[in-house]
Amino acid sequence: MAIYSAPLRDMKFVYRELFDGDGLANLPGYADFSPDVVDAVLEEAAKISKEVLFPLNRSGDEEGCTFENGVVRTPKGFKEAYNQFIAGGWTGLGAHTEYGGQGAPKSVNMLVEEMICSANMAFGTYPGLTHGAYNALKLYGTDEQKQLYLPKFTDGTWSGTMCLTEPQCGTDLGLVRTKADPQPDGSYNLTGTKIFISAGEHDLTENIVHLVLARLPDAPPGIKGISLFISPKFLPKPDGSVGPRNGASCGSIEHKMGIKASSTCVINFDNAKGWLVGEKHKGMRSMFAMMNTARLGVGVQGLGLSEVAYQGALLYARERLQGRSLRGTVSPEKPADSLIVHPDVRKNLLTMKALTEGIRALVMWVSMSQDRAEKAATEAERLEHDDLIQFLTPVVKAFGTDAGFDNANLGVQIFGGHGYIREHGMEQFVRDARITQIYEGTNGIQALDLVGRKMTAHYGRYMRAFFHPVQQFIEDNAADPQMEEIVMELAKGFGRLQQAVGQIAQKGMSNPNEAGAAASDLLKILSYVSVGYMWARMAKLALAKANDDPTGFYKGKIKTARFYMHKLMPITSSLLSSIMAGGDTIMDLEDELFDAAVAA
């Protein structure tokens, strides 16, 4: 049976001990978030996640959303849970106080997001999309738009969406056809169809505000001709209350592999009234404010599913009796030993633990950088932290979701045949996790973003924001006898990463296909090294505290770090070999030969 309790001890470790989250209280606007307040927030979030959201996860999956006569209804219990969620102020946790929010650090909000995703990922899509819309409007909306919409997003009475994809275009948004016709009153009439719109229609909020990519009549072709518009389901009245129905409606909902309690909609805009956000033809800049936030959020979805899958698998491995230990009977009073005595099961559990806790630390590093990129005292500090965010966003999104899916699969494997059966709850995590590798830019797109943009931006400045601290850590700790074993393996992985970057930079200049062919392997090497760097830092901290460790928490960190370095970091060696082999074998096969065996 699936279980979930928030991993508060580990969350507080990465927030407080590893990255000095308590020091965030010294930044402007964060003074109220003392250690006691942060603890209270995390404990309350853990409570609502476990007691309110998690019990709806399986029933929501089995019931799904329903669509009838243009109306979408969420599963039984979701409306009541959402009302309890907004009553607790959770939709406004990370929102600014000027709009009625609590102004929490992004790093605190990220830990809460992880709990929600572990407990009920489908439920989390509704406030998650609203958070993205909030960020876009806060950055690029007019003062009037901010005053109208942001308080409603903050208190949860209105929700938001991202309307990008159309039937003929997904990643290539330059193919968008939705039209925006200017009106005498300064508004625009939007006409077109958007697909795969998460939380596009539902019964949780009194209004749904769509942020829509569309083209003006004078728009240049391609992506440079895209503008961003607000188009709410119901037009707001002058006093901010809900007015008449707009021309935005749901045409259907998708029947999906997973996250069935999240409504994924076709939204039709039929002369729907909208208003420009930001500058004309600059919509992608505004939309990327949502997408970058969403990509980090999707990585946290993967992390959340990793955690809940691990907890279920660990409990089952301890309780399920199966066979005897290879070294001799461990529990002679029982008819068999528990699964956890078997090396292969232990390897699977340790892989899940090492990736989950390592990625949690990586997410915390990036989210702390978000806090400091916004609040640091000097422009140079803010720029340094933003560079790290830019460089590691593809890692958090891609590796977080790959690990989420892989760990959910390992959870099913540990359960054996029972994992394949719905009543145990593990197979749902696999289905839910699969979409995270696809939406908000497939993980292959994240790899191309890394190679095509992040590595080359500002003459490698983003890359240096990561490379320099890793190199410095290796140099500072290589001579420490307690750290030697761990630092040596980190150094090997880091050396492979540097070699891979050099290879791609050299070959990619003359043949872009070489860079494209190697991109996913490079992203994986960077990911393993990034998480390895987190484990090295955690091990150093744990070694310093291991003598006062009544619970064994720090001892577990040290041993898991050793497992990661010896069993997972070597994967970078095979990835480097693949990169060094070049892309010829990928590109040489003629298109017509892909189905030659069938044609013959």
Amino acid at 334: K
Q: Is residue 247 exposed (0-12), middle (13-18) or buried (19+ Cβ within 10 Å)?
A: middle
What angle (nearest 5°) sits at the alpha carbon of residue 115, between those of residues 122 and 36?
150
List % helix, strand, coil for the chain (3-state, nearest 5).
65, 10, 25
Active site residue 63: no
Residue 85 near residue 127, CB atoms below 8 Å: yes
Secondary structure element (H or E) that encloses residue 179, with its range:
strand 179-182
343-375 vs 512-545: helix axis angle to the nearest 10?
A: 100
- 5: closest CA among 39, 35, 42? 42
Residue 86 near residue 123, CB atoms below 8 Å: no
How far is it between the farthest Cα atoms of the chain? 84
Residue 289 near residue 135, CB atoms below 8 Å: yes
- Tell me how far apart the terminal alpha carbons of the chain are, to the nearest angstrom: 49
Rounded Cα gap, residues 455 and 464, in angstroms: 9
DSSP 74: P
Tell me the β-bridge partners of 211. Answer: 162, 230
Number of Cβ within 10 Å of residue 184's Cβ equals: 5
Q: What is the three-state SS of 85-119?
A: HHHCCHHHCCCCHHHCCCCCCHHHHHHHHHHHHHH
- Burial code of 25-64, b = ≥16 C-beta within 10 A, e = fewer? bebebbeebeeeebeebbeebbebbbebbbebbbebbebb
Rounded Cα gap, residues 27 and 379, in angstroms: 14
**Using DSSP, how many helices (H) and how many strands (E) does the chain show?**
18, 11
Query: What is each CA distance from 207 to 76, 107, 244, 246, 422, in whole angstroms?
Result: 20, 29, 11, 11, 35
Site of tokens 């989420």 = 404
Rounded Cα gap, residues 25 and 121, in angstroms: 30
Q: Which two tokens stand for residue 561?
A: 């770090």
Tell me the β-bridge partners of 264. Answer: 198
Residue 582 backbone dihedrals phi, psi, to 5 degrees: 80, 180
Question: 440, 485, 514, 592: which one is catalytic?
Answer: 440
Strands (E) across 206-257 are located at 207-214, 227-232, 234-236, 242-245, 248-253
Active site residues: 440
